[in-house]
């Protein structure tokens, strides 16, 4: 049994409804996010799991997206963040031994990607909100959300460039949903 088949079977047992695409990549959803297990038939000891199109890149937000990708690449283990065309992709890549165990590695790789997505959004929000004195213009209308989180809430988020959040991969956690509302408004 190939690694690809073992991962497909593992995902199926976990109830994640995996499907093969035309390239024999495995596509599935986990925590309402899209994932792809890339097929590398010539290298059976290589495993790559991707989160495609977590963010739409435009001319206005390209620099902020690249800076957020760089921060992820420097701070996260085995996670790569890249701008590919008009979108940001996250991926984990590992080399496998002779007896890979999907029940050990796949959940950890998925959780690393989900955490990297949140870090990407947090970094992007910081970057976009600090541009052009954004916080100073809305200082009188913002108030602290919680002292521990150190975040601010207010109606100033309407000035964030539209089209920032990818319509192909909407986040669902409370933190992601709040960011999504901020970036879309």
pLDDT in tens, 43-100: 888 999 999 999 999 999 999 999 999 999 999 989 999 999 899 999 999 998 877 8
Mean pLDDT of the chain: 76
Structure tokens at 42: 């010539």
Beta strands in the chain (DSSP E): 19-20, 26-30, 33-37, 46-56, 79-84, 87-95, 143-146, 151-153
Q: Are 28 and 11 in contact (CB under 8 A)?
A: yes
Residue 95 contacts residue 45 (beta carbons within 8 Å)? yes
């Amino acid at each position: 049994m190939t690694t690809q088949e073992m991962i497909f079977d593992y995902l199926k047992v976990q109830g994640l409804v995996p499907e093969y695409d035309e390239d024999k990549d495995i596509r599935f959803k986990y925590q309402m996010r899209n994932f792809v297990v890339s097929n590398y038939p010539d290298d059976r000891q290589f495993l790559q799991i991707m989160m495609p199109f977590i963010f739409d890149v435009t001319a206005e937000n390209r620099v902020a997206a690249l800076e957020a990708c760089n921060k992820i690449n420097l701070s996260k283990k085995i996670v790569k963040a890249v701008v590919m065309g008009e979108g940001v992709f996250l991926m984990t890549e590992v080399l496998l031994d002779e007896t890979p165990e999907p029940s050990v590695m796949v959940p950890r790789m998925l959780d690393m990607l989900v955490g990297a997505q949140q870090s990407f959004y947090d970094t992007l929000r910081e970057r976009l909100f600090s541009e052009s004195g954004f916080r100073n213009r809305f200082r009188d209308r913002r108030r602290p959300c919680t002292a521990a989180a150190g975040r601010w809430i207010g109606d100033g988020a309407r000035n964030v460039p539209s089209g920032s959040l990818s319509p192909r991969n909407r986040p669902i956690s409370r933190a992601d949903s709040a960011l999504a509302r901020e970036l879309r408004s």
